[in-house]
Each structure stands twice: as structure tokens, then as C-alpha cells.
Amino acid sequence: MNRKVRVLVVDDSAFFRRRVVHALQESSAIEVVGQAADGRQAIEQTRLHRPDVISMDVEMPNMDGITATKNILAQHHKTKIIMFSALTREGARATLDALEAGATDFLAKTSVDSTGQPRDLGALLRERVLALGQYGCVVPASPRPLAAAVGRAHQRHRRPPRMVAIGASTGGPVALQKILTSLPANLPYPVLVAVHMPGAFTTTFADRLNGLCKVSVREAADGDVPKPGEVLIAPGGHQMLLTGRHGNGRIQITDVPDQVYRPCVDLTFNAVAEVYGDSALAVVLTGMGADGAKGAAVLKRYGAQVWSQDADSCVVYGMPQAIEKAGLSDQVLSLDDIGPQLARLV
């Protein structure tokens, strides 16, 4: 029998701690091993209880959540930390700072999911905790079908792409920063990014990346024409599609009813396939679920390339695993290798 995922709850509000503890205790697969009211207590409780996952507030007295995260991970590097944040520009900046400090994931204190859609906070928290605690989520990859191996064998004969599209979810912000900061300023193709983030976060995320990267990075706007050397981030809460033909695309920011993810990687990949066909390259990064798998299948039918992140370097091996299991991946790469490989396409 799998052991329970051990969780430490950290928040200066006793009311919110009780709310989080109650939500976690609804799962028989989770054990709350301790509580803390500030960062200093969190460090001590971590030393005593060795939790698998910590839910961490950002703003707290005595020691804030970001400082506590740095201290905890310096001693307990395998611990997963979920930051609770506000859906504001200030909350976005603090959350991105926490992710840069080593936090694994984030949730808004309001009852919405990572795309800003209404969601039961307790259910969402339990889902994330179980995933990050590796409770049945990360499994060994199955042997790749022959089609994928053949695709890799012919990789060297392909011409460079005219468009690169990247999809990600849990762990995606940090992975994207690592990849995009390694790209050269003379990148000969545009990059479209669909990552599961709330609308309040994507503008701040794009601005931060723009200050770190040699390529230009910004949040995509309706009517944009993708340009070489430019990275366009899909705005949270909306869908990023493309209109056009034969590799001449124009961004369309819209709402598509009945979509769980906003932005949805599948929808962006589908649009890239229709406009760029076999001159496209898709990259699927760390994330829960299987968003991107259906879109990758469409891209493959058009003759496009698909890369996926390997299990060892993923925060959650969900989205890339779906690509591999379906035999859609031409290359399975470590996070450390994806940026340099994209740079070699120059």
C-alpha cells in the first residue's frame, strides 16, 4: 500500500490554516503532519516532520514565505512547496519570486484554478498535493513505438522550423525561464507559449522574462504577427489561436466555450498545425494532465516535429508522458538540453 503524502501547512492566519487542514484531511491519502504561523516555525516544523509537501503563504510576520522557502530547500531539497498567493500583479511578482527561489507550484487563495476559472479550492489543493507528492502520478515511461524512433532517426534531415510552440503547466514557469534565457537574440523563428497561468500572472511573467532573455518576450495580443526572435505568451484566461495560411499567421486571442484550460495547449497546437504544417515544432513541458496530446497528434499528421521533456527533469510527468505514451515524441529531452537544442536550430 502506498504511504500517505505528508503535508505541512504554513500560514499566519489561523482561520486559513484550519481551512487548508480540513480540505487536506478529506483525502485518506494525505496526512497533515504539522502547522506553522510564520517562516521560522515552518523551518523548524520541516526539520522535525520532514514533510513531502508544504503549503506556504507568501506574506507572514517574522519571516516571509519566500525566505522560508530558500532556507527549507537549502536543507531539504526534495521537499515540494506550493505557494498560496493573491490574484494581483503584486501577488504575481511575489509568486514568481517564490518559484525562482525553488517553490514547485502555486495556488490562488481565492477559489479559482491556475487559469482563473472557478474551482473548489479544497479539491484543487488535494489534486496538487497528491501530484507533487508523487502519489501514483510519475510512472516509468513505456517503450516508445517504432514511429517515434523513426521520426528521431530522420531528425537530422529536417529543415529548421518556421514556428516553435511550447506548452506547459505545473512547473512550467521555471522550465520556460530556463529554456527561453538560453535562446540567442538572432533566433530565426517565432515562439508561441501556452502555459496554464491566471490572467493576472501572464503579463508579469512575460515582462520578467523579457528582462532576462536575449529574445523579445511579451504577452500576446489579438492581431499580432509572430516574428523571428520574438516569444509571445498566451494571456491567461483566454485562448491563443492563429489565422492565416502557408506559414503566414496572425494571432487571434479569443474565448472558446467549454474548455477546461485557458489557455489550452491543444487549441494552440491545432492552430499552429493548420497554419505552419510541417514547418512547425512543438515542445511539451512539465505539467499535470494531458493537455497538448491531442494537438500534438494533429501536428504529427501535418508532418510537424514534437519534442517532450523527460520524466527525470519534470516537476509532474503528466503532459509529456501523454505525448510519449501516444508515440508522438520525436525527441525526449532533459530540461537542461531543450534550450540548447532549440538554439542549435539557428
Taking the C-alpha atoms of residue 298 and residue 294, their distance in angstroms, rounded to an integer, is: 7
Tens-place pLDDT, residues 16-63: 999 999 999 999 999 999 999 999 999 999 999 999 999 999 999 999
Report the pLDDT value the prediction gives residue 1, as an integer from 0 to 100.
Answer: 47
Domain count, the chain: 2
Whether residues 239 and 302 fall in one domain: yes
In a domain, 127, yes or no: yes
DSSP state of 318: S
The answer to whether residues 178 and 214 touch, using CB atoms and an 8 Å cutoff, is no
One domain, residues 114 and 252? no
| DSSP for 177-188, written as a single string | HHHHTTS-TT-S
Nearest-angstrom CA–CA distance, 263 and 219: 12
169 is catalytic: yes
Residues 322 and 283 placed together within one structural domain of the fold: yes
* Same domain (yes/no): 92, 125: yes
The pLDDT value recorded for residue 111 is: 54
Domain-ending residue, one of 132, 158, 191:
132
Assess if residue 140 is contained within a domain: no
If asked whether residues 21 and 123 sit together in one domain, one would say: yes
Residue 141 lies in a domain: no
201, 95 contact by CB (below 8 A): yes
Q: How far apart, in Å, are the Cα atoms of 293 and each of 18, 41, 219?
A: 38, 42, 24
Does residue 154 have an active-site annotation?
no
Residue type, 332: V
- What's the confidence (pLDDT) of residue 136? 40
Catalytic residue among 27, 55, 169, 329: 169
Asked whether the beta carbons of 308 and 168 are under 8 A apart, the reply is no
Residues 114, 245 within the same domain: no
Asked whether residue 211 falls in the same domain as residue 304, the answer is: yes
**pTM of the shown model:** 0.87
Looking at the structure, do residues 187 and 123 belong to the same domain, yes or no? no
CA distance 341 to 183: 9
Antiparallel, parallel or unpaired: β 230-233 and 248-254: unpaired
* Boundaries of domain holding 87: 5-132
pLDDT at 147: 41
**Dihedral sign, Cα of residue 188, residue 332, residue 126, residue 69:** negative
Regions of the chain with pLDDT less than 50:
1, 112-116, 118, 135-157
Mark whether 85 and 234 lie in a shared domain: no
**Catalytic residue (choose from 11, 12, 38, 291):** 291
What's the confidence (pLDDT) of residue 160?
A: 80
End of a domain among 103, 132, 161?
132
DSSP at 312: G
Q: Is residue 139 part of a domain?
A: no
CATH code for the domain in which residue 227 is found: 3.40.50.180
What are the b/e assignments for 266-286, b being 16+ CB within 10 Å? bbbbbbbbbbbbbbbbbbbbb
- In this structure, are 260 and 173 located in the same domain? yes
Are 210 and 191 contacting, i.e. CB atoms less than 8 angstroms apart?
A: no
Catalytic (active site) residue 196: yes
Burial of 59 (0-12, 13-18, 19+ CB in 10 A): middle
How far is residue 171 from each of residues 102, 114, 284, measured CA to CA in Å?
10, 12, 12
Which pLDDT belongs to residue 156?
45
Distance CA 26, CA 70 (A): 30
The reported pLDDT for the residue numbered 23 is: 93
- What CATH number should be reported for the domain holding residue 96? 3.40.50.2300
297 in the same domain as 259: yes
For residues 151 and 98, membership in a common domain is answered with no
Active-site option among 12, 85, 105, 196: 196
Look at residues 79, 110, 132 and tell me which one is the last residue of a structural domain.
132
